[in-house]
């Protein structure tokens, strides 16, 4: 009989990529990849579905920079669905169902609405959806905030000489009208004067500013969201779909659980969800990936235990070192033409390249993004340095938050446990250094990937798999890889120490 200990699992730190002959330079490589069967993105990075990593601000920033964010599910269905809405409305080519306001609404309510959606003004419509005015910052500028409660939208809105366009206006014509009349918003109306859409100058600017953005067919940013598979999970999936989510991630610590597979097949077989892609996971073996594929997923997510906050491997003694897990899962994925996501354990940009060469199409990041400005939570000062909270979704804090309900406990199949001291955590809580805005952090991570592609001579991600070769290293090799025999005196933007 073969020994049960024959198999060897390797982590990112166990290997390096060999330098190869190359005719590419780092700035010219193409990192376009497939997130799922039907969605491509220019940057192979996903922000994790964790309550200290991805809410709408992070999801917007990730999509603008060419990746995507997965909104966490440790919040009520309504709150999560409204975050989808915020991302989908953050920018677009043409908004087909713009937010509007009624003329009788108070300025105080209008102010709240604008704040929530980060917008500067709204078209005003009557009870029959006819456009009767527009109200923007300009109309509000000279109004004292004490007057917000008793003044109504109709008292201050612009109603004369409204600049509007026909419903079928082209992008170029819209741009011309915005420029000619020096207005920021162009409401579109049909022959009966009903509002049918809105085009804003902000969206033209954003398109130029973020040419790599991950967008849907209507020019809106794409967004993903995590769901479970117990209790009101179906209601959550439905609400997220109705809010316009692009991708649902059936988010569990063990994708091979029958309940998770059933949820995946149920969504994939329901015609109401035909425009939504489904990611399943997490798994860490070839058989696990096959189970996800058989359930019908549009991408498989790999990772049991590699997360920087994860204790599954010590609490349960279960997991597979991540490089091997990705390699094994990718074999099943490749055969079925289903993309593969390497989730967890990415500390340095070099790990991204290793994951892609091993067969992943993209990577999911938690700890490396939790310190960004756009991650939820405030900065704290510790020993004279700024930090942000980062915790596992299986930590005590996330599964049994004091005075709050946890919606995501079932990720670890602990939904039926009601008493907090009966929770068995599989993650920890901590602080990670504050790292500034996401675009700077991602620039370093993806910049590092460009360097890897240069070293191995790959013009694109597919070529990385063909041309990349690993060499196993020893502990001495790992020590040699990191800076050594020196005291670091200056911080590097892409290196935090051994
Ligand atoms: P990392 O990027 O290494 O911080 O890992 C993030 C990943 O860890 C997540 O995407 C998720 O799969 C996993 N995770 C989240 N919570 C926990 C836990 O509490 N064990 N693990």
Atom number in ligand 1 closest to CA 50 = 15
CA–CA dist 115, 118 (Å, integer): 5
Instruction: Decide: residue 67, CB within 10 A, 0-12 exposed, 13-18 middle, 19+ buried.
Output: buried
Q: Which of 271, 193, 260 is nearest to 227 (CA)?
A: 260
CA–CA dist 424, 254 (Å, integer): 15
pLDDT of 420 higher than 90: no
Annotated catalytic residue within 64, 222, 266, 310: 310
CA–CA dist 367, 378 (Å, integer): 16
Mutate to test the pocket of ligand 1, among 52, 252, 354, 366 (most ligand atoms within 8 A of CB): 366
Distance 208 CA to ligand 1 centre (A): 34
Minimum mean pLDDT among 187-191, 282-286, 452-456: which range?
A: 187-191
H/E segment holding residue 476? helix 475-481
Instruction: List pLDDT tens digits, range 287-310.
Output: 999 999 999 999 999 999 999 999
Q: Which residue has the higher pLDDT, 6 or 451?
A: 451
Within 8 A by CB and 6+ apart from 103, the residues are 124, 126, 132, 133, 152, 153, 154, 157
CA 406 to chain centre: 21
Facing residues of 131 across strands? 125
Residue 187, pLDDT score: 94
CA 350 to chain centre: 21
Q: What is the Cα gyration radius of the chain?
A: 25
Instruction: Decide: residue 369, CB within 10 A, 0-12 exposed, 13-18 middle, 19+ buried.
Output: buried
Minimum mean pLDDT among 276-290, 326-340, 398-412, 475-489: which range?
A: 398-412
Residue 34, pLDDT score: 98
Cα distances (Å, whole numbers) of residue 120 to 82, 112, 151, 192, 491: 19, 11, 18, 26, 39
H/E segment holding residue 279? strand 277-283
Pocket (CB within 6 angstroms of ligand 1):
48, 50, 282, 303, 307-310, 312, 343-346, 364-367, 392-395, 426-427
Residue 119, pLDDT score: 83
pLDDT of 435 higher than 90: yes
Question: Active site includes 411?
Answer: yes
pLDDT of 117 higher than 60: yes
Q: What is the mean pLDDT of the chain?
A: 93
pLDDT of 347 higher than 80: yes
Within 8 A by CB and 6+ apart from 238, the residues are 272
8 A C-beta contact, residue 262 and residue 269: no
Joined together, the tokens standing for residue 426 give 């599989």
8 A C-beta contact, residue 87 and residue 54: no
* Cis peptide bond upstream of 282, omega within 30: yes
Distance 307 CA to ligand 1 centre (A): 4
CA–CA dist 356, 449 (Å, integer): 10
Annotated catalytic residue within 34, 64, 73, 411: 411
H/E segment holding residue 470? strand 470-472
CA–CA dist 170, 468 (Å, integer): 45
DSSP code at position 365: E
Mutate to test the pocket of ligand 1, among 249, 288, 326, 392 (most ligand atoms within 8 A of CB): 392
Residue 444, pLDDT score: 97
Within 8 A by CB and 6+ apart from 160, the residues are none
> What would the mean pLDDT of 147-168 be, rounded to a whole number?
91
What is the model's pTM? 0.90
Atom number in ligand 1 closest to CA 395 = 19
Helix ranges (H only) for 39-94 are 56-64, 77-90
3-state secondary structure 224-273: EEEECCCCCHHHHHHHHHHCCCCEEEEECCCCCCHHHHHHHHHHHCCHHH
ipTM for the predicted complex comes to: 0.99
pLDDT of 407 higher than 90: no
């Amino acid at each position: 009989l073969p020994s049960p200990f024959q198999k060897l699992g390797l982590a990112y730190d166990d290997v390096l990529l060999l330098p190869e002959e190359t005719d590419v330079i780092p700035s010219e490589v193409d990192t376009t990849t497939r997130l799922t069967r039907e969605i491509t993105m220019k940057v192979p990075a996903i922000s994790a579905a964790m309550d200290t990593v991805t809410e709408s601000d992070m999801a917007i920033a990730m999509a603008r920079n060419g990746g995507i964010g997965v909104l966490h599910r440790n919040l009520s269905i309504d709150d999560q669905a409204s975050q989808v809405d915020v991302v989908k409305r953050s920018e677009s080519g043409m908004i087909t169902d713009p937010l509007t306001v009624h003329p009788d609404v108070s300025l105080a309510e209008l102010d709240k609405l604008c704040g929530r959606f980060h917008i500067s003004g709204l078209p005003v419509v009557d009870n029959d959806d006819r456009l009767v005015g527009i109200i923007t910052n300009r109309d509000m500028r000279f109004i004292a905030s004490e007057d917000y409660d008793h003044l109504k939208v109709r008292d201050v809105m612009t109603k004369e000489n409204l600049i509007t366009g026909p419903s079928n206006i082209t992008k170029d014509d819209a741009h011309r009208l915005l420029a000619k009349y020096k207005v920021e918003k162009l409401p579109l109306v049909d022959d009966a004067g009903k509002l049918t859409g809105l085009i804003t100058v902000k969206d033209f600017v954003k398109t130029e500013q973020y040419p790599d953005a991950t967008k849907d067919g209507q020019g809106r940013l794409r967004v993903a969201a995590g769901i479970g598979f117990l209790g009101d999970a179906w209601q959550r999936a439905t609400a997220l779909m109705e809010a316009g989510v692009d991708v649902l991630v059936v988010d569990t610590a063990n994708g091979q659980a029958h309940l998770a597979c059933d949820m995946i097949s149920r969504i994939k077989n329901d015609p109401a969800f035909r425009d939504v892609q489904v990611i399943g996971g997490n798994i860490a073996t070839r058989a696990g990936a096959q189970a996800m594929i058989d359930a019908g997923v549009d991408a498989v997510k790999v990772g049991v235990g590699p997360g920087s906050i994860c204790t599954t491997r010590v609490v349960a003694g279960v997991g597979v070192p991540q490089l091997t897990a990705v390699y094994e899962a990718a074999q099943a994925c490749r055969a079925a033409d289903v993309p593969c996501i390497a989730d967890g354990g990415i500390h340095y940009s070099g790990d991204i390249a290793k994951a892609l060469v091993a067969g992943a199409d993209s990577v999911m990041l938690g700890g490396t993004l939790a310190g960004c400005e756009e991650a939820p939570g405030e900065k704290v000062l510790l020993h004279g340095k700024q930090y942000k909270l980062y915790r596992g979704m299986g930590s005590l804090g996330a599964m049994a938050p004091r005075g709050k309900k946890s919606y995501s406990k079932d990720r670890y199949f602990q939904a039926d446990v009601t008493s907090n001291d009966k929770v068995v955590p599989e993650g920890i809580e901590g602080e990670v250094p504050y790292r500034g805005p996401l675009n700077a952090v991602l620039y370093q991570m993806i910049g590092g990937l460009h360097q890897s592609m240069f070293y191995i001579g790959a013009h694109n991600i597919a070529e990385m798999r063909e041309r990349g070769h690993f060499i196993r290293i020893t502990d001495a090799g790992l020590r040699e890889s990191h800076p050594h025999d020196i005291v670091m005196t200056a911080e590097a933007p892409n290196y935090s120490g051994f």
